[in-house]
Chains A and B, each alone.
Chain A
Amino acid sequence: MPLKIRTLQHIVLFILLLAPSFALYAQASNSYEPAIYSNEENLNKALTELTERLSKDEEELNSDKSIEKVQRKEIARLYQNRSQGIIDQIKEGRFLADDRIHDVVQKTFTNILRTNPDLPQDELRLFVSRNIWPNASCYGEGSLVINLGLLSRLENESQLAFILCHELAHYVQNHVNNKIKERINFLYSRETQIELRKIQKSDFGRYKKIQQMFGSALYSSRRHDRSRELEADSIGFFFLQNTRYDIKEAVNTLMLLDKIDKPKYLSGIDFKAHFDHVEYPFKYKWIAIEEDEFINGTKYQAWEIDSLKTHPSCQLRYDILSPQAPGSSSSSAFIQPVGNFAQMVQLAEFEIVESLYFFKSYGHCLHECLQYLEIYPSNAYLHARIVACLHHIWVAKQEHEIGKVVTLPDEEQTASYWSLNTMLYDMSMRDYAKIAHYYVQKHKSAYLTDEHFLYSVYLAADMMDDQEGMQKSKSAYQKLFPEGLYVEGFLD
């Protein structure tokens, strides 16, 4: 075949592969449709599975006569709490029910299970959590959870696969349940009870004795935790090797995790550019940070901090795993279309904003919106959320509850977050109303037909006590979006 045609075919294929991401980029540039978080079908399915699993675990426990009765009772209680905890999270809308993200994650999971047929597939269920912290967990009864915060940071599908393999390894090795049993065994064992009674009878030095007694147990338990993590890395790596995913990405994931405490985007925020208006100029005193000149000393630690860590350092994990991972690999970092994965990461970022808003962390939400506007400057949803956050903080401030929705400024925060929190606490009620009002004025010509933004026009009018403005925007919204997201959200 002539080279030109082959090249054309490649180009077409390339475009087709990236088409979803182009579409999404166009979508994310303009606005955003929040994900669905719970539906009755999911809830009922999870309830059934969890109840069945709990019964099975309790039955197994009761038949294990090697464990003392009082300990079995306590372990059963912890199992029940665990199950109930997951059910509560589902009811509270903390787990995603939206296909756009969940499907990508589920497909990766399915790819792992298919190439590892010995895994107990019927026992497993996967959740994507709204949690913004970069983490994943295994609950020990078959539920694996991966957080939005972690999904938003992954670079490719193979990294996602390694994370899921790691959590699967915890499940297969029964790490969680073993840990529960070890802990209960220690607390309720005859030796511990005798020791506690002895300490209770002693007149002096109880705290020191408890410290010594628990210290060694605690350190031992944490040592086990760390070795379990290393074991999960190794076994997870073994599962990953059975797939077509790039095993080199396992060690790259560890390098990523090493830096994950730092924010993804570190560019500063130009607050003046966002909030300045000729009618109401931005005041630099709002973001003037005062250095704390109080005490800053050492803190007493009852136990040695390094010995309490549940995870080994990422460097150690990397050093152990990297000899097994080749320098280069012929496998692909992606099995699903690259665009799908990129879409999922992007959605995760927006869902972080939506989750912060949902959980009423309005100060944090506002910060993330401002940060993402550096990347998606024309996104109506982000602009709308800024106004909505200002409104909610304004309401909280009126009710003297700003401390519940905005974190106090702290030098340990990033510079931009510290400045924003300082501003949110320092501004007067009038400042909030004016900033929101002029922000809407600045952007409304571009976004007035967007559902989120139109609702935020209504909120800004409320802050200015502009009844006419509220009525106009409400009417416009009800006409354009009769069954929209905010039909129940009007205050009058």
Chain B
Amino acid sequence: MKKYQLTLLLVLFFCFCLPPNLKAQEISIDKVMGFQLRNAGSILNGNQIEGYYFFYKVDRVDRKTRAYLLKIFDANLKEVSSKLIEESKYFSLMEGGFNGATLMLEFYNSKEKQFVHRQYDRDAEFINETTAAIDPRYSPILLQGEESEIRADFLFSIPYQGFVNVRPVKNKKMGYQVQFMSIDRTNKGWTYKSASDSRLLELATFLDGNSDLAAFMVAKKPSLLSGTVNFFLQALDLETGKELFSAPMLDNKHSLYPLKGNVDPETGNIMVLGQYYKLNDNPMKHKSQGLFSFIYDPKGTVIKKSFVSWTKDVSKFVPINEKGKIEDVGFIYFHYMTKLADGKIYAIGEQYRKAVSAGGTALKMLGAREISAFKIVTEDIMIFQFSSEFVLEDIQIFDKSKTNISLPAGYGNIGVVKLGHVIKAYDSFDYSFTQMADQEDGFIIGYMDYEKLKNEKNRTVFGGIVLNEGEFSVDKIPVNNKGNRLIVMPAKPGFVMVAEYDRKSKTISLRLEKINY
């Protein structure tokens, strides 16, 4: 989700009740009191939006202290809690999470360079707090989002158990730290750190968790510039934080690049999904050979491996050449993979390719240096459907207009695979989000599209691909409605949030709209 969009819009929309205002030469009260929206964002439970938070700066208490108003709204935009708190002037609210039982808010103190995690129960009463200092060298990675559009999420919920956050730390090289905060007031939680004397650069991503363990994908490489990455599936005991296992993601024929994983709530097995490559190939540079699924038992032993090859398997559905490229289309960037309640697995990708940019070339000939002669072209959305045994069952292709993405100078020399990661990092694909249905029996994929229509004015739309009761359908919401500008954002399952700017009345309204299917 584009968090900056939410912040921007809600800065314009949300007002706090103030006494009446005056005008003209007299002093107006709103000039004396200045409410500023400092942060806003969604409160996630896994992949689902449960609510929203707004953090206003209300007053300067003294040189170092500010009064803030924290407002929490549910997924229906109904205010459910608000608190006036006094904190350091260096305080910001970075993330919010909900695990079905407790709410976690992650604050950041930019002076102390530490994260402060505060947990609240369902009555919004305070439970506990933990702090975690960060190495200033890593703050650019952790704190992007205020100034740029790149923002990683570091706070993850484990349903009805607590929250984990994962951060890089300074070791001999770079390592990581996992902090677990329990919903139980009497449980202080734990912190796990990767080996401080490790000669490898180690980074971890949270996959999933249950009442017994928290599973992570750990990437290890000799140095930042090294092309060789090894992946490990690591499980930590949820009670103690001790490592249960660290299983290498290995195959004697392939290199693996995991994308997603989850813990089966019934068996406790861990499924990891991703793309595979030729042995020793670099995922950043080389083309993938297909998709893989590995299933580990709770002890970390691989009990099943499945591979779906572009050339052997996918080619039965779409024409693929020997280089793994879809003819006339290019490559697929996989944004998301998920497993539904019925066991079926879906991989959501977007077609893209590198092409010569006529405009960029022309500008270069005129002496422009900032722009590349190449561009990235994105096109249709592709959804791969697999059985629970990871056998490819179907590929659905959803038409989308071509989008041209200009590249800065020098980027034209970067390989197309790496370019895909770059434009993903800058959120330049048309794909926006995948929102799971309430019972995890379907999903909605959101994307943007500029439609060129015959006999009608071209228009930009928000598109929603819906999987409901086993059938796909597409719903579109034009972002210009009767002259008003719309922005569409993910909301609670089955819904999107529509912010509409009315040009005549100069007001912004927010409403929830159901995606039609």
Contacts and interface: CB of A to CB of B under 8 A. Distances in A.
A294 B50 contact: yes
A269 to B, nearest CB: 22
Given A294-B51, A300-B84, A205 B26 contact: no
Interface stretch (A275-283, A310-318, A348-356, A400-408): A400-408
Interface stretch (A136-144, A168-176, A207-215, A365-373): A207-215
A55 interface: no
Interface string B460-503: 00000000000000010100010000000000000000100000
B122 A296 contact: yes
Contacts of A244: none
Interface stretch (B17-25, B130-138, B367-375): B17-25
Given A294-B51, A294-B98, A400-B498, A207 B123 contact: no
B513 A196 contact: no
A299 B81 contact: yes
A400 B500 CA distance: 11
Contact of A397 (B81, B438, B516): B516
Contacts of A197: 27
B26 A193 contact: yes
Interface string A210-230: 100010001000000000000
Given A196-B27, A205-B59, A294-B122, A299 B79 contact: yes
Given A295-B124, A403-B512, A300 B60 contact: no
A294 B74 contact: yes
Interface string A294-336: 1111111010000000000000000000000000000000000
Given A196-B29, A197-B27, A204-B62, A297 B76 contact: no
A398 interface: yes
A196 B22 CA distance: 12
A115 interface: no
B382 to A, nearest CB: 25
B513 A401 contact: yes
Nearest to A300: B82
A297 B80 contact: yes
Nearest to A428: B517
Contact of B516 (A294, A398, A410): A398
A295 B76 contact: no
A482 to B, nearest CB: 33
Contacts of A17: none
A298 B59 contact: no
Nearest to B486: A400
Contact of A205 (B20, B61, B498, B517): B61
Interface in A366-403: 397-403
A197 B32 CA distance: 8
A188 B69 contact: no
B124 A193 contact: no
A70 B74 contact: no
A77 B273 CA distance: 67
Nearest to A199: B32
B125 A297 contact: yes
B80 A294 contact: yes
A206 B33 contact: yes
A428 B516 contact: yes
B213 interface: no
Contacts of A188: 22, 26
Interface string A408-421: 11100000000000
Contacts of A200: 27, 31-32
Contacts, number: 117
B336 interface: no
B108 to A, nearest CB: 22
B124 A400 contact: no
A299 B82 contact: yes
Nearest to B469: A428
B82 A206 contact: no
Nearest to A217: B19
A193 B103 CA distance: 43
Given A193-B26, A397-B514, A297 B72 contact: yes
A193 B58 CA distance: 22
B459 to A, nearest CB: 14
A246 B234 CA distance: 82
B353 to A, nearest CB: 32
B513 A296 contact: no
Contact of B27 (A193, A203, A205, A298): A193
Chain A residues touching B, range: 35 or more
A214 B32 CA distance: 13
Interface in B241-296: none
Chain B CB within 10 Å — which of A197, A290, A302, A426 has the most? A302
Contacts of B124: 295-298
Contact of A410 (B33, B61, B76): B76
A13 interface: no
B4 interface: no
Interface string A167-207: 00000000000000001000110000100110110011111
Contacts of A485: none
Contact of A204 (B51, B60, B100, B512): B60
A316 B42 CA distance: 45
Nearest to B16: A302
Contacts of A404: 511
B32 A403 contact: no
A118 interface: no
Interface in A260-302: 290, 292-300, 302
Contacts of B61: 204-205
A399 B78 CA distance: 24
A486 interface: no
A300 B83 contact: yes
Contacts of B69: 300
Contact of B19 (A204, A218, A401): A218
Chain A CB within 10 Å — which of B62, B63, B75, B511 has the most? B511
B414 to A, nearest CB: 39
B513 A410 contact: no
B60 A296 contact: no
Interface string A437-479: 0000000000000000000000000000000000000000000
B52 to A, nearest CB: 11
Interface string B24-44: 001101011110000000000
B433 interface: no
A293 B100 contact: yes
Contacts of B29: 196, 210, 214
A290 B477 CA distance: 27
B74 A292 contact: yes
A160 to B, nearest CB: 33
Nearest to A430: B517
Given A187-B22, A425-B514, A294 B75 contact: yes
A401 B516 CA distance: 11
A429 interface: yes
Interface in A97-123: none
Nearest to A70: B26
A302 B19 CA distance: 11
A208 B61 CA distance: 9
A298 B123 CA distance: 8
Contact of A403 (B51, B62, B498): B498
Interface in B339-397: none
Nearest to A77: B23
Contacts of A410: 76, 78
B120 interface: yes
Contacts of B123: 295-298
29 contacts: A188-B22, A200-B32, A204-B59, A206-B60, A207-B33, A207-B58, A210-B32, A290-B438, A292-B74, A293-B122, A294-B75, A295-B51, A295-B72, A295-B80, A295-B103, A295-B122, A296-B81, A297-B72, A297-B122, A297-B123, A298-B81, A300-B82, A300-B83, A300-B84, A400-B477, A403-B511, A410-B76, A428-B516, A429-B516
| The 3 A-B residue pairs with the shortest CB-CB distance in the complex, in nearest-first order | A297-B124, A403-B511, A297-B81
Given A296-B122, A297-B124, 6 more contacts: A187-B22, A196-B27, A200-B27, A210-B32, A293-B100, A425-B514
